[in-house]
Amino acid sequence: MWQGILESFMGHVGRRFVISVPMVFLLLVFAMPFLVVFKISISEVDGVRFVDLLTWVDGVLKLQLKFTNYRVIFFEDDLYLRAYLSSLGFAGITTGICLAIGYPFAYFLARSRPEIRPGLLMLLMLPFWTSFLLRVYAWKMLLADNGVFNNVAIALGVLAEPVKMMNTPFSLTLGMVYTYLPFMVLPLYANLVKMDIRLLEAARDLGASPWQAFWRITVPLSRGGIIAGALLVFIPCVGEFVIPELLGGPQTLMIGRVLWDEFFSNNDWPMASSVAVVMVLLIILPLALFNKFQAESTQGGRR
Amino acid sequence: MKNRAGEITSAIWLVVGFGFLYLPIVTLITLSFNESPLVTTWTGFSFKWYGALIRDVPIIEGFVLSIKIALLTATASVVLGTFAAVAITRFKRFPGRTLLTGMVNSPLVMPEVIIGLSLLLMLVSVQRATGYPDRGMLTIWLGHTLLGMAYATVVISSRLQEMNPQLEEAGLDLGAQPWQVFFLITLPLISQSLMSAWLLTFTLSLDDVVLSAFLSGPGSTTLPITIFSRARLGLNPTVNAVATLTVLVVSVGVVIASVWLARAEKRRAREMAAAFRITT
């Protein structure tokens, strides 16, 4: 009997342990930092130190909150609002293009002959593994004024003089679509490859054209993949920094770069924190949707 | 007739799609053999940029540091990811389950500038209070592990989910302790997913710019930071040479690993089928 009690106690402790290790780690390095950022975004800076929000001096409890940064973001300097809007715009356009290219891509991949499918999947995964930074850099060589595209077009006589492609909204969108395309294709593929072909056959037997069967059966059934892919592209795109920095040039406004400059060039940590807080608020809804979605797909708990 | 048209569209779409994905990589590799320092103007074949790499101290030092961080990151991510994946897939109800899944999944999509900034500001606060830790390898490793753990959890938990539940149940029924079941049954069965999670987080860490830039200190410049600071200024032939080597090593490694993993997977499926045939 004692052994039984001991065992159930050990089992209980073991379970606690398994849950608390990742929990504590994530609370410390993921949740806590957000609170710190929020605190710093409303802190007064005294030289190099942040003044405590709550101070107790001579029997007076003082709560000091500084909202100047938020006032600047929302009312005084329209750079921030323009940057947020433009980031949302670029992220939205990128998501749309990724879906338009990625859906047929995933569809044809899922319907390709089973014997070549593992090879094709490997081809799709490989760029995803190799350095993202280097692949973005590679577009610089292709798109530059004296880059590969312009050189080839001029050599072939298609163009008389180089077309400016680098440092434009075009090059930025292209770079983001290129980088995030696999994130769209993979969840779509995983969804489409599992789809029951007999449903489509049934639709055909009942007189639907292939086009009708596609729009009324395949697309609705792949809704999960579409949502997952769209969120995997949209959310990180809003705060993207490396791609706009390498391909976007000075005119394309992205909030990730604004944050970076506040932090690294202006050394204004409270301002950078405020920019981050507003950015989190901006993506909190899609993020919640993504979390809900991921939780559902891992809802395989059995005990 | 219609089917034939469909097949042609499918083939064209796939070829163009893959072309789009591979065009930059092919360009990168081809131009790394260009003799001209102008990178995009071809003047002749040469290995000279590879020779220049050997004497390029920042590149070499960055590479060594990045490899160290990537090894530590991959190992820590797989350990933490296994814990998180077991917690999420095996324990259906516990206080904080939603919080845990939310915190595991968010780093997958959260813009890296936010993660980097917030982690750095917290570490600075801790350092001001306690004098520890200094910015450097340790802090970069923490950031990479946060991101790597999220990816590792996804890879490992999808494997845990598709595992046959009867195997663990049989172990428990036969009187094994839960930890014995885990080490003797579960762990061997998910070992391939641990391997792929390790590889994935290794390459992620090796590639990361944003988190590293926020979390690095003086004297801890990783390879991607060096590459990024050169790429920002314009085209640079040494970057092409580094890129080609990276792409080659990673591709060969990934292809070999996946072939090996696929074979092991097949063998295991066969053994499993045989075992079930014997028992029934």
* B207-230 as b/e: b if 16+ CB within 10 A: bbbbbbbbbbeeebbbbbbbbbeb
Average pLDDT, integer, range B134-149: 94
What ipTM, to 2 d.p.? 0.89
Q: What angle do CA B240, B242, B244 make, to 5 degrees?
A: 65
Q: Do residues A151 and A29 both lie within one domain? A: no
Q: Do residues A50 and A177 both lie within one domain? A: no
Q: Do residues A95 and A45 both lie within one domain? A: no
Cβ contact A126–B255 (<8 Å): yes
Cβ contact B96–A23 (<8 Å): yes
Cβ contact A256–B111 (<8 Å): yes
Q: Per mean pLDDT, which of A245-249, B77-81, B175-179 is the most reliable?
A: B77-81
Q: Do residues A198 and A89 both lie within one domain? A: yes
Q: How many CB atoms lie within 10 A of CB B106?
A: 22
pLDDT higher than threshold 60 for residue A135? yes
Q: Lowest-pLDDT range, B27-31, B37-41, B194-198? A: B37-41
Q: Do residues A38 and A86 both lie within one domain? A: no
pLDDT higher than threshold 80 for residue A54? no
Among A17, A123, A99, CA closest to B82: A17
Selected residue of A90, A130, A183 to mutate for chain B interface (largest B Cβ count, 10 A): A130
Q: State how far residue B206 is from chain A, nearest Cα, in angstroms.
A: 8
Cβ contact B27–A142 (<8 Å): yes
Q: Do residues A29 and A145 both lie within one domain? A: no
Cβ contact B165–A302 (<8 Å): yes
Predicted confidence (pLDDT) per residue in A223-249, tens digit: 989 999 999 999 999 999 999 999 998
Cβ contact B91–A272 (<8 Å): no
Residue A195 — very low, low, confident or very high, per pLDDT cuts 50/70/90?
confident
Q: Do residues A46 and A175 both lie within one domain? A: no
pLDDT reported for residue A202: 87
Cβ neighbours of residue A8 closer than 8 Å, sequence gap 6 or more:
none
Query: What's the distance, Cα to Cα, between the start and end of chain B in Å?
Result: 48
Q: Do residues A196 and A79 both lie within one domain? A: yes
Residues of chain B with pLDDT > 70: what percent?
98
Q: Which residue's entry shows tokens 């005119």?
A: A251
DSSP A252: S
**Cβ pair B197, B155 in contact under 8 A:** yes
Mean pLDDT of chain B: 89
Nearest chain B residue to A117 by CA: give it: B14
pLDDT higher than threshold 60 for residue A74? yes
B218 touching A (Cβ < 8 Å) = no
pLDDT reported for residue A178: 95
Predicted confidence (pLDDT) per residue in B215-239, tens digit: 998 888 999 999 999 998 888 888 8
pLDDT higher than threshold 90 for residue B74? yes
Q: Lowest-pLDDT range, A166-180, A252-266, A274-288, B37-51? A: B37-51
Q: Which residue's entry shows tokens 């029924």?
A: B173
Does residue A303 fall inside a structural domain? no
Cβ neighbours of residue B141 closer than 8 Å, sequence gap 6 or more:
B69, B72, B73, B76
Number of residues that make up chain A: 303
Q: Do residues A36 and A179 both lie within one domain? A: no
Distance CA A239, CA B280 (A): 56
pLDDT higher than threshold 50 for residue A163? yes
B138 touching A (Cβ < 8 Å) = no
Predicted confidence (pLDDT) per residue in A268-294, tens digit: 889 999 999 999 999 999 999 998 888
Domain-terminating residue out of A23, A43, A66: A66
Residues of chain A with pLDDT > 70: what percent?
94
Q: Do residues A62 and A74 both lie within one domain? A: no
pLDDT reported for residue A208: 85
**Cβ pair B116, B139 in contact under 8 A:** no
Q: Structurally, how many domains does chain A consist of?
A: 2
Distance CA B255, CA B152 (A): 19
Average pLDDT, integer, range B152-161: 93
Q: A151: number of CA atoms within 13 Å, CB side?
A: 12
Q: Do residues A186 and A45 both lie within one domain? A: no
pLDDT higher than threshold 70 for residue A300? no
Does residue A302 fall inside a structural domain? no
Mean pLDDT of chain A: 87
In which domain, by residue range, is A28 found?
1-66
Cα-based distances in Å from A263 to A65, A75, A250, B187, B274: 21, 21, 18, 44, 60
Q: What angle do CA B41, B45, B47 make, to 5 degrees?
A: 115
Q: Do residues A48 and A179 both lie within one domain? A: no
Q: Which residue's entry shows tokens 């596609």?
A: A214
Distance CA B218, CA B220 (A): 6
pLDDT reported for residue B147: 96
**Cβ pair A171, A139 in contact under 8 A:** yes
Domain-terminating residue out of A51, A66, A81: A66
| CATH code (residue A200) | 1.10.3720.10
Selected residue of B121, B167, B182, B250 to mutate for chain A interface (largest A Cβ count, 10 A): B121
pLDDT reported for residue B1: 42
For residue B196, the one-letter residue type is S
Cβ contact A294–B105 (<8 Å): yes
Q: Which residues of A touch B149 (CB under 8 A)?
A: 22, 25-26
Q: State how far residue A53 is from chain B, nearest Cα, in angstroms.
A: 14
Average pLDDT, integer, range B174-179: 85
Cβ contact A37–B247 (<8 Å): no
Domain-terminating residue out of A49, A66, A83: A66
Cβ contact B107–A30 (<8 Å): yes
Q: How many CB atoms lie within 10 A of CB A277?
A: 21
Sign of the CA dihedral with A187 first, then A193, A195, and A199 last: positive
pLDDT higher than threshold 80 for residue A5? no
pTM of the model as a whole: 0.90
pLDDT higher than threshold 80 for residue A299? no
Residue A3 — very low, low, confident or very high, per pLDDT cuts 50/70/90?
low
Cα-based distances in Å from A27 to A31, A32, A60, B103, B205: 5, 6, 33, 8, 21
B229 touching A (Cβ < 8 Å) = no
Q: Which residues of A touch B247 (CB under 8 A)?
A: 130-131, 134
Cβ contact A178–B24 (<8 Å): yes
DSSP A61: E
Nearest chain B residue to A210 by CA: give it: B2
pLDDT reported for residue A301: 40
Residue-range domains of chain B with CATH: 56-234 (1.10.3720.10)
Distance CA B30, CA B198 (A): 30
